[in-house]
Amino acid sequence: MKTKMEDSGCNFTCLQTSFLRKLEYTLINELCKTGFSLDATSFIRKVKDLSHGDFTVPRGCLPHIEPQLFEETKTLLLQKSQNWEMKIGNITTDPYSAFIFHLRRPECFKHTLQEVLLHKEAYGVHFISVTKSVLLNSSSFSAIREKTVDEISIDTLRSIVLLQHILLLLKAHGYDVVCRDLGTLPESLKHLVSLIGLLDTSCKWTNPPAQELIHQLCYRAQQFQTRQKYIPHDQVSACNRDEETGSYGRSFDIGVSRGNKRDLTSSSSRTESDKDTCQECMHLKNIVVDLEQYIKLKSLAVGKGGYDKNIKNVEVVSNGKESSYLSEVAELEQCIKTCPVQACVHVVSQSQAFNQQRVDILWQILTEEPVQPLVNQSHFLYGTVTCRKNSQIEKINAHQFYNLRYQQLKQAFMIKYAEQVTGQGWEDTIAILTMANIKFELLASTARNMVKLDLSHDIADGTLGDAGGGAFVMYNCARLSTLLSHFQESVDKGLYPSLPPIEEVDFSTLREQEEWHLLFQYVLAFPQLVQQAVGSIDGHDRSNINADIQTHKICNMLMSLSRLVSSYYSRIHVLGESRAHLLPQMFGRIYLLKGVHQVMVNGLALMGIPPLSQL
């Protein structure tokens, strides 16, 4: 499903990325003429203290640059940047930096905020030139259908929250995402799952694999073993492999020649005898595939970043029944027949990573083309969720956890607003804020790290501590929404003149350092942050099978931005008196806060959280 921006052919360009590329290219070309060599991907950094500049080239990259060369390069860069959207106002140096670049802030304010107003909800979205489809596979997500509300663990809740965030990040990068459909849920589960948020995908699959497909996969496993001289056994367990010969037992002659490579999924190439042979495979008591030998055959990476070195073999048929590994491969095969994809990301807990790698390799073996897998696979691992030692509760399921956070938030609102907290409107607001808190709590840590929850009940001071991050972000987003609404209401009442076009606004009136921080560190940087949140996921680089997806970046950015917004909002009176000499600064601040609000809304959308217009 394409967005309006995609249909219009819009290809969003990140201003900051574009500027840095131009700056790097120009700087490298100029310095190379004098014999300097630089790595274009690493030598320009952001300045930590923005009062001293915006971007820097550390002295370590250019330790011996002469003053004359510095002045010549400075003159050239100042001249060339005048044709760029983000212009350089000055270039200085100090003992720690070879170059310090100071942007022309008024122009930077204007161009950045113009981009935000132009793209609105699409600001920060990067559309790739060729749309790809990716399958998100999470066994814990599909297992929800078979569980009661009390059986859903917090680990499962974290996997669903991560899955949704990954899905939305991938869609922001232009991917068509395929995900399992929960189908019809029991009434006891509908409320909890609906609160987690939407899982909007362009394609979903629910149909279980046909028995014929399972027979075909068994046939391929037997064919693979025969062709590679791997011998599936009937009576001997996988762990009873003969140490001297390396065989598992006697081979079963199922009428498959080693050179036979017919595509069993094609109806034109499949005969009745083929079907009988496929079914005959299921009558074997056990079929075992040697994964270790396949890893060696294909020179797959093992160890750090690669497959586990302890992977040996996997049972395809056990005691005459399909194994769980075969069942999952069959589901994945069924999916790609319904919704063809180019890549698959397995979202899996660290405790299940070993088994998921076995599924990965087995799927490669049983794919239709043995030479090249049809789907490139990668693995996204996440850690477990535990309770802190000082918590009053040691073990809790997802539903109990939600109820605890809901009651804590309701108690905090009662302390602050007293009798006002009544009615369905408050109940709905608290429900949204509760799930926002839970999502921030589960996404704030790097996915591989363990999440430690504070489940203590004491909130006598009316605050939730680390558990209130989502509500804090939502509160500051609602603050900005309310302020912008009040401004428009005042315009409608004739108290303020209408907001002039952004081209006519004088942004040189924004002199507060916090205002530049808001724009430079957050509004301008947001598209690049979204871009950096998703790296390689297609598994082309088989030296690293891990999906490069940073699920903590958006969450932590919103928390940091909200702290700055809260400080700025408390200190600066934006809607001042309607005097002619004060209006230019107020208009500039209104446009800035419009941009900040849009970034917060877009960031929350990537987490599946609807913003509130007021609290």
Kindly report, residue by residue over 565-575, the tens digit of the pLDDT.
999 999 999 99
In angstroms, how far is CA 268 from the centroid of its own chain? Answer: 42
Q: What pTM was computed for the model?
A: 0.85
Largest CA-CA distance found in the chain, in angstroms, rounded: 94
Rounded distance between C-alpha atoms, residue 22 and residue 546, angstroms: 32
Instruction: Give the Å distances, CA to CA, from 300 to 38, 291, 365, 488.
Output: 34, 11, 13, 61
Q: Contact at 8 Å (CB) between 492 and 571?
A: no
Structure confidence by residue, pLDDT tens digits, 42-98:
688 999 889 899 999 988 888 778 889 899 999 999 999 999 989 999 999 998 898
Confidence (pLDDT) at 420: 75
- Identify the CA nearest to 455 among candidates 416, 408, 520, 524: 408
Instruction: Starting at the earlier edge strand, list the strands of the sheet with 176-180.
Output: 203-205, 176-180, 133-137, 343-349, 376-382
Confidence (pLDDT) at 39: 56
In angstroms, how far is CA 289 from the centroid of its own chain? Answer: 34
Rounded distance between C-alpha atoms, residue 316 and residue 221, angstroms: 8
Q: How would DSSP label each residue in 128-152? A: -SS--EEEEE-HHHHGGGGS-GGG-
In angstroms, how far is CA 555 from the centroid of its own chain? Answer: 10
Residues of the chain with pLDDT under 70: 1-13, 37-42, 126-130, 141-146, 181-210, 227-285, 368-373, 390-394, 457-466, 539-542
- Identify the CA nearest to 155 among candidates 328, 350, 431: 350
Please list the helix, strand and coil fractions of the chain in percent, rounded to the nearest 5, in that order. 50, 10, 40
Virtual torsion, Cα 484, 488, 491, 492, nearest 10 deg: -160
Confidence (pLDDT) at 552: 96
Question: Do you know the residue count of the chain?
Answer: 615
Structure confidence by residue, pLDDT tens digits, 14-38:
888 888 889 988 888 888 877 776 6
Instruction: Report residue 28 as tokens.
Output: 């490298």
Rounded distance between C-alpha atoms, residue 353 and residue 342, angstroms: 22
Rounded distance between C-alpha atoms, residue 612 and residue 435, angstroms: 13
